[in-house]
Amino acid sequence: MSPLVSLFLLHIVTASATQLHPGYYLGTCPKAEIIVRDVMKKAFTRDPRSLASIMRFQFHDCFVNGCDASLLLDDTPTMLGEKLSLSNINSLRSYEVIDEAKAALEKACPGIVSCADVIIMASRDAVALTGGPDWQVKLGRLDSLTASQEASDNVMPSPTSNATFLIDLFGKFDLSVKDLVALSGSHSIGKARCFSVMSRLYNQSGTGRADPAFEPKFREKLNKLCPLDVDQNVTVGLDASPVVFDNQYFKDLVSGRGFLNSDQTLYTFPQTRGLVKQFSINQGVFFKAFVEGMLKMGDLKVDQPGEVRKNCRVVNY
């Protein structure tokens, strides 16, 4: 990570997040959360996998310039947005669901609910609708006036990241080791491309061999699903129950069946192994820690001008 990026991260603050609070729209758009939840329910019925991507919107948005919906801005002739950044292209999808929620909100309460808050509500709903915890979200954010593909590329971790790097990265956002491990449990739902596991399967750390942390039978399964000549856009479940938000992800890590290097490293690294074990045994403890991490991540903010966009893809004119 470059010194410039490290300096930028230090300017992300949580103090101003005290302005955020549950029920922020009760006086101006009292059905806001119901409207978003209804749209999410319809999306779940149409395509259950879409919720896994939407849940990750919060992480991919908040780590880049704070929680300001910069993620949702389309490219313009003068701005490269974040949708085509390395961590988002061929990974995040279902932006149209956010569009649908925003359109419904604009119909009910024009110009009131920010796209940044829609991301926070929708991410929470994605977890709740797939079997995970439900919680009160803090609202009251503004939408950014710009986005930065470069900022996203410089900040977001890759699937090959190790625990040391991830601990350091999350620490720059005042997120603890416990937050890191709990929030990694977002991989309890969804799939990833073979592209993300090829080096781990066939050339871990330049050795020309597979990661020894693989459970042998799981490695054999992945060798069949993701052979060297595979279309690397083929997808594989991130855990053994990829449509249910539960603690199976952590059980898989304990048994050497993690898909991404950035996941399995949490069990092989001593500083994070105990938390993985704890969450694998007690789903309630994991759920509580996950909610705490999501709330803390939702507080990330950069001091910058903002607005409430009418269309999440473009700034107001």
- Provide the CB-side half-sphere exposure for 147 (13 A, CA): 31
Is 22 annotated as contributing to ligand binding? no
List CB contacts of 34: < 8 A, sequence separation 6 or more.
none
Is 70 annotated as contributing to ligand binding? yes
Is 303 annotated as contributing to ligand binding? no
d(C-alpha 302, C-alpha 9), whole Å: 9
Annotated catalytic residue 60: yes
- Provide the CB-side half-sphere exposure for 43 (13 A, CA): 28
SS3 track for 71-84? HHCCCECCECCCCC
The closest alpha carbon to 118, from 49, 50, 40, belongs to: 40
d(C-alpha 264, C-alpha 161), whole Å: 10
Is 143 annotated as contributing to ligand binding? no
Is 187 annotated as contributing to ligand binding? yes
* Integer CA distances (angstroms), 220 to 81, 210, 214, in order: 39, 11, 9
Is 11 annotated as contributing to ligand binding? no
d(C-alpha 270, C-alpha 248), whole Å: 20
The active-site residue out of 12, 40, 53, 60 is 60
To which residue do tokens 């449509």 refer? 243
Is 66 annotated as contributing to ligand binding? yes
- H helices of 109-246, in order, are 115-129, 149-155, 163-172, 177-184, 198-202, 216-225
For Cα atoms 32, 15, 79, give the angle at the middle one, nearest 5 degrees.
Answer: 70
Is 168 annotated as contributing to ligand binding? no
Q: Which residues are annotated as a binding site for substrate?
A: 157
Q: Which residues are annotated as a binding site for heme b?
A: 187
Residues with a known catalytic role: 60
